[in-house]
Chain A
Amino acid sequence: MIVKAETAPYVEAFAQRDGTDEPHWLAARRAAALANFGDKGFPTRRQEAWRFTDLRPLQRAAFPPVSGDGSAPFALDAYRCPGATHRLVLVDGKVAPALSDLGALPEGAFLASTAETLAEAPDLVAAALEESDAQGNQPFASLNAAFFTDGFVLALEPETVLERPIEILHLTSAGAPRSHHVRNLVRLGTGSRAVLLETYAGAGAHWTNSVTALHLREGAALHHARLQDESAEALHFAVNRAHVGRQARYRSFVLTLGGRLSRQDMLVRLDGEGAELALDGAYLLRGEQEATNATFVDHAAPGCTTRELFKGVVADRAHGVFLGSISVRPEAQKTDAHQLNKNLLLSRRATVDTKPELEILADDVKCSHGATVGDLDEAALFYLRTRGIAEGEARRMLIEAFAADALERVEPAALRAYLAHHLQAWLGRGEEGGR
């Protein structure tokens, strides 16, 4: 096996890990995924999908895969979703039963930690691993497949409807640099419905490396919101792969506020006729932060709809990247897809790279995309100031209005309010960077 130098600490850690009590099939998959990671190494800027990403923060140190025991105490209050939920809390990549409160789940609903599911319903987890971890071009997803120890699994039987949101908190405690590899699975049976809120937050210079597989069967509906509010030293990589079936609806929103270096890869395949996708997000960056939102939407069936809106606010020396690809296969006639990325650059040293991309191989389609980069509207700023609002306040108002616009499609209202609250907290945390 050829091993790229930067992968050595991880390959060594894999050799030393204790996996004796795991079933053979899982051990084999882990080994294959690790081999793929060792072979591919870290991505480089020569790869088109990574050309704007600066991986140096990841290369400066090794982040040994260590998971906690889920017992660290934690104040949840800042990140609790108001109202009744089914709550699962992970601390340092391991489910913390003491902090969790699953509540009463209706019949047909399954919510558990990945580790637990491996013991009770291994087939479910195996399904989540039926991805391209062993060959694919997502080396960090492969690394995750090699090391994951926990995560969450949500599975709904056909026609099951969850009234309360599922609330997953991924928390980290401060400490030496280390990596947490969480593997999550969401499976919605025919006609089932759920609301899922995930929050990633905590302290320390750790590396969160998560992979989530989502399968929505015919007519299923999922509202999926994610808040990434990790520490300003943290690294955060997330790969989300979604398959959306016939007439199913998937609405995803990701709000990026934290992390020194973060990247969200969202790969959505619209598999069944009439599937609907809303793929939205916002990123607010300051200091030295760099965040990438990379979306790949694959229209593989006719009559599907995509609405995509990502908004970026980039201050100080931060760097925002949006890579948006929509492809329409020859058989995906009557596709209706629209993608928009809008950015506010707030400082002289802030930078934005955006690459909205359309690849269309069917003819009866309506597809469009747009991208803008600019500063705050001077006329609006002036207008507010003539009404007696101080400049700083006026700027905050306009920035908030700009970013909050992206939240409009988030449902239900409780999720929207939760995200809006954290967005305002970010704005309140300090003046955006000087010009």
Chain B
Amino acid sequence: MLEIRNLHARIADGREILNGVELVVGAGEVHAIMGPNGSGKSTLAGVLSGRPGYEVTEGSVLYQGQDLLALSPDARARAGVFLAFQYPVEIPGVNNMYFLRAALNSLRRARGANELDAGQFLKAVRAKLKLLEIGDDLLQRAVNAGFSGGEKKRNEIFQMAMLEPKLAILDETDSGLDIDALKLVAGGINKLRAPDRAMVLITHYQRLLDYVVPDRVHVLSGGRIVKSGDKTLAAELERHGYAAYEAA
């Protein structure tokens, strides 16, 4: 599904943030990437999704066998890459439903599926709301505008459910959530696990992993993956902190 080889990337001021990342994620797998602040977690999410402001200086990313880095952000989205933002962007004046329908139909066109009309779309929305056990209170508001932190994250998971990606990258989706919101969001993620869908959870803390159990855990430090293991690695990190890896 996803194959990252020797990935180096820097930001606008020239600082090298990623320093040879190696990562292979197979279909149906859930990988957690953990690391201290400044280790390059968000940069990795940014580079994979094509966010402006990063420059890849070396290495490659293959996604379903094609060169992911050659695609524009929207082409990546249409190819099935979804990024749940750490800070979902507010777009005042644009209705959430309208936005989602435009996005969904854009993806469906790319897949050769028919576009959904208003009725079909609404039906799909209802089904996903039910699946995720969330209310429809956010739908008629402008995209993320004036949403609380928890509402924004919930909206991201809802969008993921609607857009049905092949590769979902969740960037600090647990940050800023209280325990109830965390459970709700984690429950949503679990329901969206599927044999043909890979997920990359980027997180600073272990607590999300209490609810979403990963297949693999990686420690990112200094722009590289310095250790990989199974879910027990997360618990170990929680006990001993990142200090042991800082120097790496």
- In the complex, are there CB atoms of A and B closer than 8 Å? no
